[in-house]
Structure formats: C-alpha cells, structure tokens
Amino acid sequence: MPAEASLTVRDLTALLESFAPVGLAEDWDNVGLVVGDPAHPVERVMTCLTLTEDVAHEAIDNQVELIVTHHPLPFRPLKRLTTTTGEGRVLWNLIRSGISVYSPHTAFDSAGEGINYQLATGLNLAEIHPLIPADPANADSPLGAGRCGAVLEPTTLARLAANTRQLLSIDHVRVVGDDQLPIARVAVACGSGGSLLDAAIDSGADALVTGEATFHTLLAARTAGVAVVLTGHYASERFAVERLAAWLQAQQPTLTAWASREESDPLRLLTS
C-alpha cells in the first residue's frame, strides 16, 4: 500500500482559514502565511500568542515545521532582514531552520467561534452577537468584531470580575465601576479592545471585558456608566491559542501540536 501523504503547510493553512477566514481580518492587519513554503511537510505545530526569541528557540529545539502565532511577525513591511534587530534574528533563525509562520490575528478574533466568541461563551452569556458585524446587512451573521450577550441571571461587577478571573486562570483584574453595579448585558473584546467601547455602549452593555484600554477610554466608560474589566492583553488571548493547539491536534491526529511552553506575560505584578 502507498504511504499516507504527508500534511503540508498548505493543508494546515487551508484548515486554519476554514476556521478563521482571512477575509475577516482588519484592513491594517497582516494575516495568513507570512513566512514559509506552502509545500513543506508538517508533522509538528506550535501555537503562541507572540513570536518572541524564547518562543522561536523552543520551536527550533523541538523541530517544529509550522508556528501559528496570533500576533503577526512580520507585522509591517521590512526594508531589510538582518540579525541586528530582535525581529530580524527571530525571522532569520526560523527561516534557516525551515520553519513556516502563520498568523490568524484579527480573523481569529472575529471568527464565528473565534476568541471573542470563546470569551462570551466562557462567561456564560446568552443571545450572543458581534458588536460590529462583519456584514451589517446580515443581522444574523455570527461573524464580526467583539461580542455582546445577556447574563443568564442577575449579577454584579464583582461577580463578573470573579468569573473572568476563573475563566482565564488569572489571579487579578482591574475594574472601572462599583463592585455592586448590576450587570445584565456584557460586551467582550479581546486584546486592545478599548476601541470598541462605543460599540459596547450602543449595544446596551453594562460592562466591557477586554484586555487593555487607554486611560481616556476608561474615563469615557465611567462617564457613560459602563463598567470595565481589564484582564491584561496577554490573558485575554493566550487561552485561545492553547485551545487552538488542541483543536489542530483533534482535526489532524497525525500532528503533534501544542501551545508554547516558554511563552509568558511580559508584565508581572509586584506586591511588595
């Protein structure tokens, strides 16, 4: 019998794009296969939130053929690729090792079962819909930026914050608003989601759960009477790349897929 055909980078990118179509990405983004040979065979895949030097070394040491990084690298056009910059060293070493790089980024954020949907369902919201639909003419489409939904039973900002910590396995969040503020509708926006505050207000949300927001956005939320739960950029998205690795493994059992074990939040909390 002929040997089973190997999976290729092209096969894996097609699978990823079936889950998070690149057409959902924001115009400013750089999604898809950003480094590599579509015909190259793949047996080992590693996911990560951000492709740092530590993460790249992990991939090289473990003979990975494809990295799926949420944040694109490169993100902006490069005039030169040298080892004199951190970004250049990462890319140079990956290319020398034959490792391809794919980024779903904002397409993954806005996919039907993407990061924002996972945040919303993880918080047990009902009647979930995008904050900004990908197709405004189709009100029933599950695609688009952010999510908003109703809580299943009356809750407070303090309880919402506790549920968020539990979902993301983190020990603290920062909040805007009174702990006992009643919450009936919640908007979620992973990463730098403060830019979706106006959409959250328009949706009738009592609270916005996001990774990070500017100081002036937080003041605007307080003025509008909308609570905010800030998880940190890393925590709001890292859980989803862990789930993505498990999904890839389930879809293609011949793969070895895992989320980077070296990756960590660059911010840490000092308590003394």
Q: pLDDT per residue over 227-266, tens digit each? A: 999 999 999 999 999 999 999 999 999 999 999 999 999 9
Same domain? 98 vs 126: no
Whether 209 is in a domain gets the answer yes
Task: Pick the last residue of a domain from 70, 91, 108.
Answer: 108
237 is in an annotated binding site: yes
Same domain? 119 vs 223: yes
Cα gap 68→94, rounded to integer Å: 13
The domain containing residue 167 runs over which residues?
112-233
Same domain? 81 vs 143: no
Say which CATH number the domain at 181 has.
3.40.1390.30
- How many domains, in total, are found in the chain? 2
71 is in an annotated binding site: yes
Mean pLDDT, all residues of the chain: 95
Q: Count CA within 13 A, CB hemisphere, residue 146.
A: 26
Q: What is the mean pLDDT of residues 185-205?
A: 97
Same domain? 129 vs 214: yes
Secondary structure element (H or E) that encloses residue 249, with its range: helix 233-251
Task: Pick the last residue of a domain from 89, 108, 127.
Answer: 108
Same domain? 102 vs 129: no
109 is in an annotated binding site: yes
Same domain? 92 vs 145: no
pLDDT band at 2 (very low <50, low <70, confident <90, very high): very low
Closest CA to 108 of 211, 9, 12, 18: 18
233 is in an annotated binding site: yes
DSSP β-bridge partners for residue 229: 175, 209
Whether 263 is in a domain gets the answer no
Whether 253 is in a domain gets the answer no
Whether 267 is in a domain gets the answer no
Q: pLDDT per residue over 80-134, tens digit each? A: 899 999 999 999 999 999 999 999 999 999 999 999 999 999 999 999 999 999 9
Same domain? 133 vs 221: yes
Tell me the three state secondary structure of residue 31: coil
Same domain? 55 vs 161: no
- The angle at the Cα of 182, spanning 180 to 184, to the nearest 5 degrees, equals 150
